[in-house]
């Protein structure tokens, strides 16, 4: 399995505070059968250099567990207008992970995403099941038709965020508004079988095929 959304990197934003804690998360991920992880700390000014430094420290630990690490970032939509370029997921593609937080979907937000698409970026919406509701379904379908991709959290299907989120995750899945399943891991708790369990009853393409194509720049 390939995990495209993880806050496993130590001493950055709300991820683990120590290298040891990051290694513990890697060990838990390995037990879940995860072979590649894209590190996606929340964007902060100056994060690119810190991301590179910590990734190189953690990479040997990951290799010992047969896990490949890739760089990435999770952007708050409200920060995008301040950026000239974005940190992508991996090195070959142009995919970026964007969290809408409490931002509503309206013509202004949609136009902003189009502007980034015109710069050849490909948008992945992070965990929409946690941010939106059934009333937003038409707007989310419009985004999908505009080539926006959707990443849902494994924990959402397991009820980790409550029944409402679990129900809406299933609705998004039924409406083909899911392209990736990821952990959104902040601790070992998020690598406690959620990905492994979800893989048993959701499409394999969400865990392996689509993430690999993304990393290869072929999606």
Consecutive 10-residue averages of pLDDT for the chain (219 residues)? 96 89 96 96 90 94 97 92 92 92 80 92 96 93 94 96 97 98 95 92 95 93
CA within 13 Å, CB half, 102: 0
pLDDT at 109: 85
Spatial distance between the Cα atoms of 55 and 11, rounded to a whole number of angstroms:
11
pTM of the model: 0.95
Q: What would you measure as the largest C-alpha separation in the chain, in angstroms?
A: 47
Instruction: For 106-149, write each residue's pLDDT tens digit.
Output: 888 888 899 999 999 999 999 999 999 999 999 999 999 999 99
Please give the C-alpha separations between residue 33 and each of 17, 26, 199, in angstroms, as whole numbers.
Answer: 24, 11, 10
Spatial distance between the Cα atoms of 160 and 154, rounded to a whole number of angstroms:
9
pLDDT at 105: 82
pLDDT at 93: 84
pLDDT at 196: 92
Residue 12: domain span: 2-215
The total of structural domains in the chain comes to 1
Please give the C-alpha separations between residue 171 and each of 98, 155, 211, in angstroms, as whole numbers.
Answer: 21, 15, 22
Termini Cα distance of the chain: 17
- The CATH number linked to 135 is 3.20.20.140
For the chain, how big is the Rg over CA atoms in Å? 16
pLDDT at 176: 97
Please give the C-alpha separations between residue 178 and each of 8, 47, 146, 166, 212, in angstroms, as whole numbers.
Answer: 23, 29, 14, 14, 16
Report which of 71, 82, 135, 123 is spatially closest to residue 99, judged by C-alpha positions.
123
pLDDT at 164: 96
Spatial distance between the Cα atoms of 63 and 68, rounded to a whole number of angstroms:
6
Give the pairing type, strands 95-99 and 2-6: unpaired
């Amino acid at each position: 399995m390939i995990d495209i959304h993880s806050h496993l990197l130590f001493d950055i934003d709300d991820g683990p505070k120590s290298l040891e804690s990051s290694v513990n998360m890697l060990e838990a991920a390995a037990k879940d059968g995860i072979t590649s992880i894209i590190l996606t700390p929340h964007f902060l000014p100056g994060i690119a250099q810190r991301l590179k430094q910590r990734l190189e420290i953690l990479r040997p630990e990951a290799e010992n567990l047969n896990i490949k690490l890739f760089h990435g970032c999770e952007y708050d939509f409200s920060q995008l207008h301040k950026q000239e370029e974005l940190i992508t997921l991996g090195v070959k593609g142009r995919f970026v992970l964007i969290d809408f937080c409490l931002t509503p979907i309206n013509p202004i937000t949609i136009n902003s995403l189009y502007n980034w698409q015109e710069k050849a970026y490909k948008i992945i919406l992070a965990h929409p099941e946690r941010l939106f509701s059934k009333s937003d379904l038409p707007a989310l379908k419009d985004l999908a038709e505009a080539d926006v991709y959707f990443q849902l959290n494994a924990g959402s299907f397991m009820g980790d965020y409550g029944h409402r989120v679990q129900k809406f995750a299933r609705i998004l899945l039924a409406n083909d508004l899911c392209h990736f399943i990821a952990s959104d891991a902040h601790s070992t708790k998020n690598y406690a079988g959620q990905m492994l369990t979800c893989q048993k009853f959701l499409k394999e393409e969400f865990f392996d095929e689509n993430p690999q194509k993304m990393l290869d720049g072929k999606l």
